[in-house]
Amino acid sequence: MKILIVDDQELVLLSLNKCLTDLGYDVISSNNVFDAIKKYDQYEPNLVIADINMPVLEIESQKNDTTNINEKASGLEIVKYIKKIKKHDTPVMILSGNNEEEIIVKGFELGAADYMKKPLSLSEIGARVRRLIGSENAIPLVDVNKNRSIQSTCTGVVIPCYNEETRLSSDEFKAFVHRNLGYHLCFVNDGSKDNTLGVLQELRKGNEDRISIYDCEKNGGKAEAVRLGMLHLAKDNQFDYIGFLDADLSTNFEDFDDLVQTISNSNYKIVSGSRINRMGADIAKESARKIISQGINLIIRKTLGMDFKDTQCGAKVMTKEIVDKTFQKKFLTKWLFDVEIFMRMKKVYGSEQAKELICEKPLNRWVHMDGSKLSFKDSFKIVGQIGQIAVHYR
């Protein structure tokens, strides 16, 4: 039995293709409405699974196409073509992160057989497919797909690595991409002198579609590693959001996913993790460090002109628009590039609008990892770098 799946995001197509192929179906994939209609006529599938929200592609072969595309819910054009134009009884399952009642109702009015809202459970998708078209084999539904889901958005995550051979928790990263199919992890090897690259290559085995490696031959510092990784992922149109996360997982995946949920359900263009609620207990016994930390934070707030409690948390997620507008040029500093991102946003959007586009979200968990604390000497260097930033972006 043949199934045509249609989605503009490669991570979704790969996940559905693997799931349905494992269940014994022949799968045809398409990433846009025009190609999907052609493949429907060519292969005559028994079932079509289509995402509602796909951008209308402007490519040469489509300029003379007369299909009336609904730009708000282009996937509905596939339902319309099958049910209203071809007048076929081929069942169509709609997948979407869109919960607008009007669009959902329109889909059923056009003749859709089923609707599933993202995030999607692979096991449930398999069960619904069998309900609609049956199966020619007895492969069990609940197997490797148990507890695996496709998120409502596709997110690329940059993870800078420098000499992480003994610290990198490979099992945690593997488990995360296995369960969360809407994420792609891009590890940036920042010219490591140990065997970090070998560890990353081993980590990627079996997860090539969801884990990539950007290898920098020379160490350029965290700021440059993150910048290059973010620009690399921004070239891939499938990502709704792109973020970065520290390799030591001092901020865990659950908190990072909360940042993604926050930005996807809001008009913010960047959501930054804040350790402020967790830091008191960690440094309460280190009064000198606490005073220095509070002093640096005060200087940063004055420089930014924003009441930002924690700019330096290594967990942030943003739209590709922010990446395009603030990551093109190298950052001045290796440690304070987070501050520079906000300063660049003020230049692009103006001070007041920039404040409305940035969200600082407290983390539920954050821990100091070995070697993650700055020395007192480094703390004093930071003050000089803040001054450098203030002068440059004035």
Please give the class, per CATH, of domain 2-133: alpha beta
pTM: 0.88
Residue ranges of domains in the chain: 2-133
Flag whether pLDDT at 295 surpasses 90.
no
For 14-34, how does the pLDDT look when each residue is reduced to its tens digit (9 = 90+)? 999 999 998 999 999 999 999
User: pLDDT tens across 307-345, in order?
Assistant: 888 887 889 999 999 999 999 999 998 888 999 999 999
**pLDDT tier at 148 (50, 70, 90 boundaries)?**
confident
**Residue 230: its pLDDT value, please?**
98
**CA 114 to CA 213: how far, in whole Å?**
38
